[in-house]
Homo-oligomer: A and B are copies of this chain.
Amino acid sequence: MLTIYNSMSRCKEVFKPLHPGHAGMYVCGPTVYGDAHLGHARPAITFDVLYRYLTHLGYKVRYVRNITDVGHLEHDADEGEDKIAKKARLEQLEPMEVVQHYLNRYHRDMEALNVLPPSIEPHASGHIIEQIEYIKKILDAGYAYVSDGSVYFDVPKFNADYGYGRLSGRDIDELLSATRALDGQSEKRNPADFALWKKASPEHIMHWPSPWSEGFPGWHLECSTMGEKYLGTKFDIHGGGMDLKFPHHECEIAQSVAHNGTPAVHYWMHNNMITIDGQKMGKSLGNFITLEQFFTGNHPKLQQAYPPMVLRFFILQAHYRGTVDFSNEALQGAQTALRRMMEGYRRLRDLRPSETSDIDVADLKRRCYEALDDDLNTPVALAVLFDAVRVINQVNDGTAHATRADIDALRDLMDTFLGDIMGIRLDQDDAASIKPYEEAVDLLLEIRREAKSRKDWTTSDLIRDRLARIGFSVKDTKDGGFEWSLN
């Protein structure tokens, strides 16, 4: 029985889908005006695991993750330049060239992290009509007003009727009575109001016709609109980073309640932040390390390159609601742990079955489900899989025994939970092409053993020394065989 922590109720709840057998989830995706950094990897991986787990449990999942390509202004505010248009101006490109460039790179990074593509990846700029229609209905309902060609959401009115700020727990009275900032926000009746539609200033290059002005939609609107278009007026899960709770998700809630008279989302889920030197890693703070920099090691704070699967493992080692602090030590720890896990996995194929078993795979499996059912507790699930690795090693050493069926069940356990659900790549793509080479190395070591048995030390030493120089480590095993690995 899957339970998930609902940020709205602030407790773990049993997941009950609105439509039996189906699950709808919406997750806030990136604003594509720069490369993705480690902070972007966390929601992507967290909700990828949820998507994979729901699918594994048999749900037909529709997973919508949007691309923000218009309307997201600097400082997440209602005034200022559009983040993408600014980048386009600086790089002398058409804004959609900027969007395409960074979207392609985002996809490449996500694929490297083995994050599955969502079912639908709608673009904000591709849903302008839908957003205009959405605004019309909020205006008709009386929760928005037109001001000099722009449309603003009326937060005090909404608060009086429905309450505003529940998700983030903000003190709404304080918000509403805040001193009006003197920065040209005079179009708004109240500083807490937010833009649904903005009239484009002459230098604003992305704009569309609307009943109110040639302009563009407010940043919060796309998620309410596209969530409803693709998942319906009510859907199961809305996810995103904790930093989006306010104002973004609070505004989404206000919009959909004003639009439909009822909230859209059943379960709100929020992943915690990645910190660096104790501060949130963020694009606007300038303290980020991009995923590509991690993959190549090309950043002053990085002592080495970290392969994508190490980053994924690192993120899975913490529960998604806890903070994760970046450090080289922690990443190197993840790398060592992942290597140990993968060695166990590969050892599976060489295990010799016994007539009887003294291992309990069913219990390991039960504990994996228990961990994931407990609000996606991936660190506990990984700990169970390390127990499985310990069992594999014992069978390998002969200190435990497993039947063929149990060995197959162990493999299935790893394939399912480590591979399918937690998304660690178990078969590297080049595995097939490497195979003949691996057999060539095996042959070398056979020849070495043969040479040793003939006391041909020249050949035996030559093979040992040259393999070491190339980068192979060779370990003799007790039974007179050998194991090798590539450093």
Q: Which A residues are closer than 8 A to B by beta carbons? A: 62, 94, 96-97, 99-101, 104, 107, 117-123, 125-130, 133, 208-209, 230, 430, 433-434, 436-441, 443-444, 447, 450, 459, 462-463, 466-467, 470-472, 486
Q: A440 and B120: CB pair below 8 A? A: no
Q: A97 and B440: CB pair below 8 A? A: no
Cβ contacts under 8 Å, A462 to chain B:
447
Can you report 27 A-B residue pairs in the complex whose CB atoms are below 8 A from each other?
Answer: A62-B97, A94-B120, A96-B120, A99-B120, A100-B119, A100-B120, A123-B126, A128-B129, A133-B209, A430-B430, A430-B433, A434-B434, A434-B437, A436-B470, A436-B471, A436-B472, A436-B486, A439-B470, A440-B440, A440-B444, A440-B472, A443-B444, A443-B466, A443-B467, A444-B444, A447-B447, A447-B463
Shortest Cβ distance from residue A130 to the other chain B in the assembled complex, whole angstroms? 8
Q: What DSSP secondary structure best describes chain A's contact surface?
A: helix
Cβ contacts under 8 Å, A130 to chain B:
208
Q: A437 and B441: CB pair below 8 A? A: yes
Shortest Cβ distance from residue A104 to the other chain B in the assembled complex, whole angstroms? 5
Residue of B nearest to A133 (CB): B209
Q: A447 and B459: CB pair below 8 A? A: yes
- Bound CA–CA A467/B466 (angstroms): 19
- Bound CA–CA A375/B99 (angstroms): 32
Cβ contacts under 8 Å, A133 to chain B:
209
Q: B129 and A126: CB pair below 8 A? A: no
Q: A440 and B441: CB pair below 8 A? A: yes
- Bound CA–CA A319/B403 (angstroms): 61
Cβ contacts under 8 Å, A230 to chain B:
94, 96
Cβ contacts under 8 Å, A107 to chain B:
107
- Bound CA–CA A127/B443 (angstroms): 61
